[in-house]
Amino acid sequence: MKLSFEHISKLYGNTAALQQIDLTLGSGVYGLLGPNGAGKTTLMRIMTDLLAPSTGRVLLNGQDIAVMGAAFRKKLGYLPQDFGVYPNFTAEQFLLYIARLKGLSKFEAKRQTDDLLHMVGLEDKKQKKLKGFSGGQRQRVGIAQALLGDPEILVLDEPTAGLDPEERIRFRGIISDLSQQKLVLLSTHIVSDLEAVANEIILLRKGVVLGMQKPASLLEQLNEQVWLVTVPAADEAALTKQYTCSNVMHTDGKSVIRLLSKSAPRPDAVPTAPNMEDMYLYYFGR
Ligand SMILES: Nc1ncnc2c1ncn2[C@@H]1O[C@H](COP(=O)(O)OP(=O)(O)OP(=O)(O)O)[C@@H](O)[C@H]1O
């Protein structure tokens, strides 16, 4: 499978939400990472054929998705950011309903609904009305509905928003279990969610793709650029003003500051292994 974005731009009035995006994706899990307003939702809506780009086109195996229309949408599962549910439906009723809208037979709709409720851990809540669900449970229903019909392409807009740590771990398990034959694109600004699941990370800032790389190589680039500096608490402000800091810990009147710098910020600075939050600040921090 090959999905290509060719010279995609999107203008909202004078705002350029996306600028000349050229990307080719195959099977695997892609994380779309960028701060608020970077253009993640816009890119995903264009990829799902819900929004027309101002210029450019999206091709699936060489075919324009706008021309493929329904044939493309059949291959697609989508969890929108503002996933609304029918409050008076039970989880099971809702999934059966979406399955039928997706064209599944009654038998197949029931089979997949049962499987997916099990997969997202909501089997015992299937008779419960959605209005009584927590944010995390609702999000799991959203992930299940995106998976109905076993789509080849899965687009998840902030799927981990509102999930607690345990639910995040469960979500990672679900994504990792999905066949590697699928193309999964998920957006987030929670970097730790990507390290474990994404094969590639697409960095998006102000509508421009800064690059697409494996998590490990993004981290590698920061080797010898992340430092721990221990200073009296009174000196903390000067350092945090001068450098991009990813963490400050306070112990015994001292501050242990984790900061980014191309060279040792002080002779006593200790280099430390970069993590994904450092990487995020490196690309998107001040
Ligand atoms: N319908 C719209 N009309 C006008 N401007 C819009 C519209 N939708 C998005 N924008 C603007 O386009 C830019 C990209 O927005 P988009 O929602 O794609 O970003 P995002 O990365 O998904 O942000 P977030 O993480 O906050 O969801 C922003 O500047 C936003 O204000």
Report the residue among 32, 41, 45 best suited for mutation to probe ligand 1: largest number of ligand atoms under 8 A from its CB: 41
Domain co-membership, 51 together with 112: yes
Domain co-membership, 182 together with 246: no
Ligand 1 centre to CA of 188 (Å) is 14
Domain co-membership, 104 together with 128: yes
Last residue of a domain, one of 216, 246, 274: 216
pLDDT at 42: 97
Domain co-membership, 169 together with 42: yes
Of 275, 34, 277, 246, which Cα lies nearest the Cα of 158?
34
Report the residue among 15, 19, 205 best suited for mutation to probe ligand 1: largest number of ligand atoms under 8 A from its CB: 15
Mean pLDDT, residues 237-256: 93
pLDDT at 192: 81
How far, in Å, CA of 163 to CA of 140, rounded?
A: 9
Residue 94 pLDDT grade (very low, low, confident, very high; cuts 50, 70, 90): very high
How far, in Å, CA of 117 to CA of 124, rounded?
A: 9
DSSP code for 37: T
Domain co-membership, 161 together with 116: yes
Q: What radius of gyration do the chain's Cα atoms show?
A: 22
Sheet containing 63-64, strands listed edge to edge, beginning at the edge strand earlier in sequence: 15-25, 3-12, 55-60, 63-64
Provide the terminal-to-terminal Cα distance of the chain, rounded to the nearest Å.
Answer: 38
How far, in Å, CA of 184 to CA of 202, rounded?
A: 12
Last residue of a domain, one of 171, 192, 216: 216
Domain co-membership, 14 together with 89: yes
Residue type, 56: G
Ligand 1 centre to CA of 22 (Å) is 19
**Long-range Cβ contact pairs of 216-225 (< 8 A, separation 24 or more):** 218/276, 218/279, 219/273, 219/274, 219/275, 219/276, 219/279, 221/279, 222/260, 222/274, 222/278, 222/279, 222/282, 223/274, 224/271, 225/260, 225/261, 225/262, 225/274, 225/282
Any atom of ligand 1 within 6 Å of the Cβ of 50: no
Mean pLDDT, residues 74-100: 91
Residue 180 pLDDT grade (very low, low, confident, very high; cuts 50, 70, 90): confident
Of 258, 262, 285, 284, which Cα lies nearest the Cα of 272?
258
Q: What is the CATH number of the domain that holds 77?
A: 3.40.50.300
Any atom of ligand 1 within 6 Å of the Cβ of 37: yes
The pTM score is: 0.91
Residue 249: enclosing H or E segment and its boundaries? Answer: strand 244-251
Domain that holds residue 267: 221-284
pLDDT at 136: 83
How far, in Å, CA of 46 to CA of 3, rounded?
A: 12
Ligand 1 centre to CA of 23 (Å) is 20
Which residues sit opposite 18 in a β-bridge?
10
Ligand 1 centre to CA of 207 (Å) is 9
- The two tokens of residue 273 are 């292994």
Any atom of ligand 1 within 6 Å of the Cβ of 162: no
Any atom of ligand 1 within 6 Å of the Cβ of 39: yes
CA-nearest residue, atom 14 of ligand 1: 39
Any atom of ligand 1 within 6 Å of the Cβ of 122: no
Domain co-membership, 23 together with 115: yes
Q: What is the pLDDT of residues 112-170, one digit of tens each?
A: 999 999 988 899 999 999 999 988 888 889 999 999 999 999 999 998 887 888 888 88
Which three-class secondary structure string do you get for 188-236? ECCHHHHHHHCCEEEEEECCEEEEEECHHHHHHCCCCCEEEEEEEHHHH
Last residue of a domain, one of 216, 236, 269: 216
Average pLDDT, the chain: 93
Domain co-membership, 93 together with 80: yes
Domain co-membership, 184 together with 116: yes
Domain co-membership, 126 together with 258: no
Ligand 1 centre to CA of 89 (Å) is 31
CA-nearest residue, atom 24 of ligand 1: 36
Domain co-membership, 260 together with 195: no
Number of domains in the chain: 2
Report yes or no: 116 and 147 within 8 Å, Cβ to Cβ.
yes
Any atom of ligand 1 within 6 Å of the Cβ of 40: yes
Report yes or no: 157 and 130 within 8 Å, Cβ to Cβ.
no
Domain co-membership, 72 together with 111: yes
How far, in Å, CA of 233 to CA of 130, rounded?
A: 49
Which residues contact residue 29 at a Cβ distance below 8 angstroms, ignoring those fewer than 6 apart?
175, 178, 184, 186, 197, 198, 199, 200
Which residues sit opposite 271 in a β-bridge?
227
